[in-house]
Amino acid sequence: MRTTVLRPFARWRARRQHLSVRTRVLAAVLALAALAMVIAGATSTLLQYQRTDVRIDDSLTRAAQDLRDFAATDLDPTTGKPFASIDDLLYLAVQRRAPAAHEGVIALVNGVEKWLAAPTVSLRLEADPELMRRLRSLDPTVTPRLQTIRTAVTEYRFVAIPVNVQGDAAQGFFVVAVDRSAELRALAVSSRSYVVVALGSLLIIAAVSWFVVGALLRPIRLLRDTARRITETDQSERIPVTGRDDLADLARTVNAMLDRVQGAFGSQRRLLDDVGHELRTPLTIVRGHLELMDSTSSAEVESTRALALDELDRMQRLVDDLVTLATVDRPDFVRPTPTDLGRLTDDVLDKARPLGDRHWQVEARADTTVLVDEQRLTQAWLQLIANAVAITPPGARIRIGSAVREGRALVWVHDDGPGIQPEDMPRLLQRFERGGSARRTDGAGLGLPIVSAIAEAHHGEVRLDSSPPRPEVEPTGAENDRWGALAGARLVIDIPALGVPLADDARGDDASPDGARAISGPSTTERLVGR
């Protein structure tokens, strides 16, 4: 049974889902307006019916009271003497009564119609035989009350007042009746007029709502049309924004989303182009050497094998870097844990030494615990160090350091190689971008983007503190030492120092004139500071 009841509702919901939003909103508005009009009309009609019945009863009650007051005087106003007969009293009572519309009056004596209303009175009670039979059967001993009778002609509301005159044995009745059906028919005309006006109002509401809802939904239609026009090759379409309402905010939000989608498509397209370019070169090299290789020459086979392995290693590094960048947006890309920044500085230096024969130094060491992903931060730090090794000659000085200042944890790498122009830094943080000719390496241009991604995952950034370029004439002696402390580039990973004091605990032990302790050449796991 329940399934049978629910099926029509399910079919109605299925049909409703095929209607447009504009149609559904219009239907809802009309339904609410119609419901309100029905409730208002029904309430008004019921109240009018009640007021009509109350008005009829009040009129009949006043008529009965007027007759009692008139009969209580027991004086004939035409003679000034007591009424001689019941006929005289009823005659004057009928004359005195001026019936309203749909009202009639009649006087009966001993069950016979004695006095009738004036010919101008529209409601002729004597013309309804069924009513007259009822009036003739009235009991004069019963207390008069308001009564209702429905005949073949109409429905009456009446009051019959027994009348007696001292000295006259006749029994009379003074009857005042109202055609209740006629009174209610007037209300029915008013109700029909209300229905006509309500239907006209609904038509006006429908027309106005159709245009208003259409105007309100215009941004949504524009959104739909814009979405249809957007293709994989053209994401330039945008929704025109006018006003400051919620729909305008929706349009602005969608436009911002489209900007991000367009940027993502462009970035993806550039990434694919760059990856194709980067992979094409080693594949071409390997293919060319294999095609030209003399398979009978063991030396040439070995040389080609070594070259192929080198190019495969290069492609493997490229793929690994791309995998790292692809996981940046994952929530578990970084997993912060409490990390001793000073110990991490020592560990990074130990891992950096095998990267090259350089003059390694620690500029500062922060003995503070911070909340970071130790592995990711180590990866980014070593990437900066690897870049510095790649652009400096053997024996060059590379300095690293860590510090906490004003709630920020800072780790950096400072090299004496060619500097970086500040305007080039944003470009270098993009994928497959390389430095200028002085700082160009053999990498794929993914190192700094990985460092930037790790910093951003920690809600931080990578920034450049470049020293002034070297003078055209190479300085010597003390002047060279001064420029040595200033030249090159200083790349800083700046991230929030969560859970640490604001004071800077950074310090350098056994500092050299440039504020760092010097360690020459690669060595074993010697601790630089804090010993």
Domain holding 300: CATH number? Answer: 1.10.287.130
Q: Give the model's confidence band at 310: pLDDT under 50 very low, under 70 low, under 90 confident, else very high.
A: confident
Residue that wins the pLDDT comparison between 316 and 503: 316
Final residue belonging to a domain, choices 300, 326, 352: 326
Burial state string for 494-524 with b = 16 or more CB within 10 A and e = fewer than 16: bbebeebeeebbbebeebeebebbbbeeeee
Spatial distance between the Cα atoms of 175 and 140, rounded to a whole number of angstroms: 12
pLDDT, tens digit, 9 for 90 and up, residues 275-291: 776 677 678 878 888 88
Contacts 24+ apart (CB under 8 A), 523-531: 523/353, 525/350, 527/346, 528/346, 528/349, 528/362, 528/365, 529/342, 529/345, 529/346, 529/362, 529/365, 530/342, 530/346, 530/365, 530/367
Could you tell me if 316 and 366 lie in one domain?
no
Residue that wins the pLDDT comparison between 483 and 233: 233
Q: Is residue 55 in a domain?
A: no
Could you tell me if 322 and 260 lie in one domain?
yes
> Strands 506-507 and 359-366: what pairing?
antiparallel
> Strands 155-165 and 147-150: what pairing?
antiparallel
Q: Is residue 61 in a domain?
A: no
Final residue belonging to a domain, choices 181, 206, 224: 181
Q: Is residue 395 in a domain?
A: yes
Q: Is residue 223 in a domain?
A: no
Mean pLDDT of all residues belonging to the chain: 79
Range of the domain at 348: 337-520
- What DSSP element (H or E) covers 96? helix 86-96
Per-residue pLDDT at 523: 33
Res 10 pLDDT > 90 = no
Per-residue pLDDT at 218: 81
Q: What is the mean pLDDT of residues 137-161?
A: 87
Q: What is the mean pLDDT of residues 213-217?
A: 84
Could you tell me if 264 and 145 lie in one domain?
no
Per-residue pLDDT at 483: 43
Spatial distance between the Cα atoms of 413 and 398, rounded to a whole number of angstroms: 7
Q: Is residue 90 in a domain?
A: yes
Q: What is the mean pLDDT of residues 139-149?
A: 84
Final residue belonging to a domain, choices 326, 347, 362: 326
Q: What is the mean pLDDT of residues 61-75?
A: 85
Could you tell me if 376 and 510 lie in one domain?
yes
Res 469 pLDDT > 50 = no
Could you tell me if 381 and 317 lie in one domain?
no
Spatial distance between the Cα atoms of 201 and 216, rounded to a whole number of angstroms: 22
Could you tell me if 379 and 462 lie in one domain?
yes
Interhelix angle 341-352/374-390, rounded to 10 degrees, is 40
Q: Is residue 302 in a domain?
A: yes
Per-residue pLDDT at 525: 29
Task: Note the Cα 232 to chain centre separation in Å.
Answer: 27
Are 26 and 206 in contact, with CB atoms under 8 Å apart? yes
- The token duo for 222 is 């524009």
Q: CA separation (Å) from 471 to 388, 439, 455, 479? A: 21, 18, 33, 11
Could you tell me if 262 and 364 lie in one domain?
no
From 57, 84, 75, 216, select the one nearest 147 (Cα to Cα).
57
Res 37 pLDDT > 70 = yes
Per-residue pLDDT at 281: 67
Q: Give the model's confidence band at 530: pLDDT under 50 very low, under 70 low, under 90 confident, else very high.
A: very low
Spatial distance between the Cα atoms of 363 and 399, rounded to a whole number of angstroms: 6
pLDDT, tens digit, 9 for 90 and up, residues 442-453: 555 677 888 888
Domain holding 149: CATH number? Answer: 3.30.450
Could you tell me if 384 and 434 lie in one domain?
yes
CB atoms within 10 A of CB 383: 22
Could you tell me if 318 and 349 lie in one domain?
no
Could you tell me if 443 and 368 lie in one domain?
yes
Could you tell me if 377 and 501 lie in one domain?
yes
Spatial distance between the Cα atoms of 404 and 397, rounded to a whole number of angstroms: 24
Residue that wins the pLDDT comparison between 507 and 401: 401
pLDDT, tens digit, 9 for 90 and up, residues 399-428: 999 999 988 999 999 988 776 767 666 667
Could you give the percent of the chain with pLDDT greater than 70? 79
Burial state string for 357-367 with b = 16 or more CB within 10 A and e = fewer than 16: ebbbbbbbbbb
Per-residue pLDDT at 98: 81
Of 59-68, 163-172, 352-361, 383-392, which range is least confident?
Answer: 163-172
Report the length, in residues, of the chain.
531
Q: Is residue 101 in a domain?
A: yes
Contacts 24+ apart (CB under 8 A), 448-452: 448/383, 448/387, 449/325, 450/321, 450/324, 450/325, 450/379, 450/380, 450/383, 451/380, 451/383, 451/384, 451/491, 451/493
Interhelix angle 298-326/246-292, rounded to 10 degrees, is 170
Spatial distance between the Cα atoms of 330 and 222, rounded to a whole number of angstroms: 33
pLDDT, tens digit, 9 for 90 and up, residues 359-397: 999 999 998 999 999 988 998 999 899 888 988 899 999
Q: What is the mean pLDDT of residues 473-480?
A: 48
Helical ranges in 230-245 per DSSP H: none
Res 511 pLDDT > 50 = no
Could you tell me if 291 and 378 lie in one domain?
no
pLDDT, tens digit, 9 for 90 and up, residues 265-274: 777 777 677 6
Q: Is residue 311 in a domain?
A: yes
Residue that wins the pLDDT comparison between 236 and 435: 236
Q: What is the mean pLDDT of residues 460-484?
A: 56
Which residues touch 433 (CB under 8 Å, ≥6 apart)?
A: 427, 445, 448, 449
Q: Give the model's confidence band at 222: pLDDT under 50 very low, under 70 low, under 90 confident, else very high.
A: confident
pLDDT, tens digit, 9 for 90 and up, residues 238-259: 878 877 878 788 888 888 888 8
The structural domain count of the chain equals: 3
Per-residue pLDDT at 16: 55
